[in-house]
């Protein structure tokens, strides 16, 4: 067979396993049929084009390089370098929401950039990201001044205080340029340590010499957009419900008065102690296993669901146990952990205020054998190893649901896993899932953020809205 023409589709996420093959296929020895075996270092590496068919600017290339060196996510696309409205948004979903809100108000032509930072970047990484945006923003003047929107939803595990330290460093460094460009800053953020982060940002506004308006989770996620663009005024809807910690933006020089915070019965007083004895994580009885097995396919999570966490993720496990405790589950939802790169041992966690020990196994086979009632696996394996580990999980009949957290899984691997899961009658959630919550029953990994957010949002109890 002689190929006269050929088109091939390459998946950049598969470069870690196919990059050498692509290089060999493009070597002179293969193309021209010359003698000599092609080796992995023969032939040019595959050069993938920039998104949307355009060349990256120097700043975009720099952020892309930072992104490649970290497990966090740092993205930047310059839309209009002379635009008036600039964004520094945490989270991919939030970046879309903010861009849509700006466009809906008729300012799409003034939107200067699109991007996001997420995945718990360090203070230094956030500083470099913020500095790049501020440098771009302050290069040109605008007759109406410029607006910087630092927005985001409620972070799952990104430390708001840490990332804001990096942003504040960058703002201080560009103080004179921000004043000269007449920049106004509007902030809305929530998540771990948000009070500390917003307080630091509010204090910066008192000394930086530019207007900085700061709001927390009491304000709708995009409410600062019309405020920043002059389409709304800061009325009652913008008042902080935590004025004691974060003074109200509408009165920058005078601290607000404390407001009455709702006290959750599950988080205060003696009611924080479960009314049932705390059961240590151990193999369930046959009766419990029977209850779990009877759960319908469309409802994989119940108050009896037990899971195996694949990967050393103590923060995620503790979050799941805290959720179980506030839901007053009788038995923790995490039965054990699997960490293939270490020996069998136990890991200390907290069940409410009491210490408890969870076993950590070096193999999934042993974990499944020790905990026959565990029918859910939360897989934290990396994008490079998640295919093999998930394929192993699908080989155990007791596993009915697998949640895959990893991003960047090659499409071919995903298609194969879907096919295998259908044959095994196993539900796959992911890849690249942030998790999920079934109130009163089960929480997958880090989803939902810290316990104060879960408690204030009443995510621990069933409601009338599904999402």
Q: Residues 93-134: pLDDT tens digits?
A: 899 999 999 999 999 999 999 999 998 899 999 999 999 999
pLDDT computed for residue 61 by the predictor: 92
SS3 (DSSP) at 415: helix
pLDDT computed for residue 259 by the predictor: 34
pLDDT computed for residue 234 by the predictor: 62
Positions in the chain whose pLDDT score sits under 70: 29, 31, 33-42, 51-52, 233-295, 297, 465-467
Question: Do 76 and 136 touch, CB atoms closer than 8 A?
Answer: no
Question: Do 101 and 94 touch, CB atoms closer than 8 A?
Answer: no
Length of the chain: 467
Per-position DSSP letters for 112-133, written without gaps between them: -EEEEEES---HHHHHHHHHHH
Q: Classify each residue of 121-149 as buried b or exposed e, where b means 16 or more C-beta atoms within 10 Å of its C-beta.
A: bebebbbbbbbbbbebbbeeebeeebbbb
Question: Parallel, antiparallel, or unpaired for β 85-87 and 146-150?
Answer: parallel
Q: What angle do CA 314, 315, 319 make, to 5 degrees?
A: 115
**Cα dihedral 307, 313, 314, 319 sign:** negative
Give the span between the Cα atoms of 416 and 463, in whole angstroms: 36
pLDDT computed for residue 258 by the predictor: 30
Give the span between the Cα atoms of 410 and 460, in whole angstroms: 35
pLDDT computed for residue 24 by the predictor: 83
Give residue-wise pLDDT tens across range 271-312.
Answer: 333 333 334 444 444 444 444 445 676 788 999 999 999 999
Number of other CB atoms surrounding residue 290 within 10 Å: 12
Give the span between the Cα atoms of 368 and 307, in whole angstroms: 10
SS3 (DSSP) at 280: coil
Phi, psi of 443, rounded to the nearest 5 degrees: -130, 130
Question: Do 342 and 317 touch, CB atoms closer than 8 A?
Answer: no
Give the span between the Cα atoms of 320 and 318, in whole angstroms: 5
The alpha carbon of 304 is separated from its chain's Cα centroid by a whole number of angstroms, namely: 27
Phi, psi of 314, rounded to the nearest 5 degrees: -60, -35
- In the block, tokens 């103590």 appear at 314
pLDDT computed for residue 462 by the predictor: 81
pLDDT computed for residue 308 by the predictor: 97
Distances (CA, A) of 110 to 86, 107, 244, 417: 9, 5, 36, 43
Task: With residue 177 as reference, give the H or E element that holds it.
Answer: helix 175-180
Per-position DSSP letters for 10-77, written without gaps between them: --GGGHHHHHHHHHHHTSHHHHS--SS---TTSSPPP-PPPGGG-PPPHHHHHHHHHHHTSSSEEEEE
């Amino acid at each position: 067979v002689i190929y006269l023409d050929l088109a091939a589709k390459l998946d950049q996420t598969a470069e870690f396993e196919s990059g050498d093959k692509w290089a060999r296929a493009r070597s002179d020895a293969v193309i021209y049929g010359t003698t000599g075996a092609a080796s992995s270092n023969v032939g040019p590496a595959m050069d993938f084009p920039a998104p949307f068919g355009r060349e990256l600017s120097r700043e975009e290339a720099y952020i892309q390089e930072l992104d490649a060196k970290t497990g966090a996510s740092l993205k930047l696309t310059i839309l209009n370098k002379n635009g008036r409205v600039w964004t520094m948004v945490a989270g991919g979903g939030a970046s879309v929401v903010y861009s849509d809100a700006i466009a809906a108000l008729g300012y799409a032509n003034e939107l200067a950039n699109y991007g996001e930072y997420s995945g718990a970047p360090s203070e230094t990484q956030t500083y470099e990201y913020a500095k790049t945006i501020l440098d771009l923003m302050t290069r040109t003047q605008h007759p109406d001044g410029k607006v910087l929107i630092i927005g985001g939803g409620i972070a799952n595990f990104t430390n708001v205080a840490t990332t804001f330290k990096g942003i504040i460093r960058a703002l201080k460094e560009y103080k004179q340029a921000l004043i000269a460009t007449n920049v106004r800053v509007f902030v809305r953020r929530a998540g771990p340590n948000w009070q500390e982060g917003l307080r630091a940002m509010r204090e910066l506004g008192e000394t930086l010499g530019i207007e900085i308006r700061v709001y927390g989770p009491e304000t709708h996620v995009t409410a600062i957009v019309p405020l920043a663009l002059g389409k709304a005024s800061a009325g009652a809807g913008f008042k902080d419900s935590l004025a004691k910690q974060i003074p109200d933006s509408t009165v920058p020089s005078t601290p607000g008065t404390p407001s009455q915070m709702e006290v959750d019965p599950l988080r205060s007083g003696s009611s924080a102690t479960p009314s049932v004895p705390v059961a240590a994580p151990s193999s369930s009885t046959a009766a419990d296993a029977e209850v779990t097995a009877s759960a319908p396919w469309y409802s994989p999570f119940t108050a009896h669901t037990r899971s195996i966490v694949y990967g050393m993720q103590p923060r995620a496990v503790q979050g799941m146990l805290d959720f179980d405790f506030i839901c007053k589950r009788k038995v923790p939802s995490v039965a054990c952990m699997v960490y293939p790169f270490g020996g069998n041992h136990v890991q200390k966690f907290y069940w409410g205020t009491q210490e408890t020990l969870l076993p950590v196994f070096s193999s999934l086979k042993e974990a499944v054998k020790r905990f026959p009632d565990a029918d859910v696996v939360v897989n934290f394996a990396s994008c490079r190893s998640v295919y093999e580990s998930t394929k192993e999980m699908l080989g155990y009949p007791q596993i009915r649901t697998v949640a895959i957290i990893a991003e960047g899984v090659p499409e071919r691997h995903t298609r194969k896993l879907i096919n295998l899961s259908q044959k095994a009658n196993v539900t796959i959630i992911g890849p690249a899932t942030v998790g999920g919550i079934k109130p009163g029953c089960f929480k997958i990994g880090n989803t939902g953020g810290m316990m104060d957010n879960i408690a204030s949002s009443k995510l621990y109890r069933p409601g009338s809205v599904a999402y």
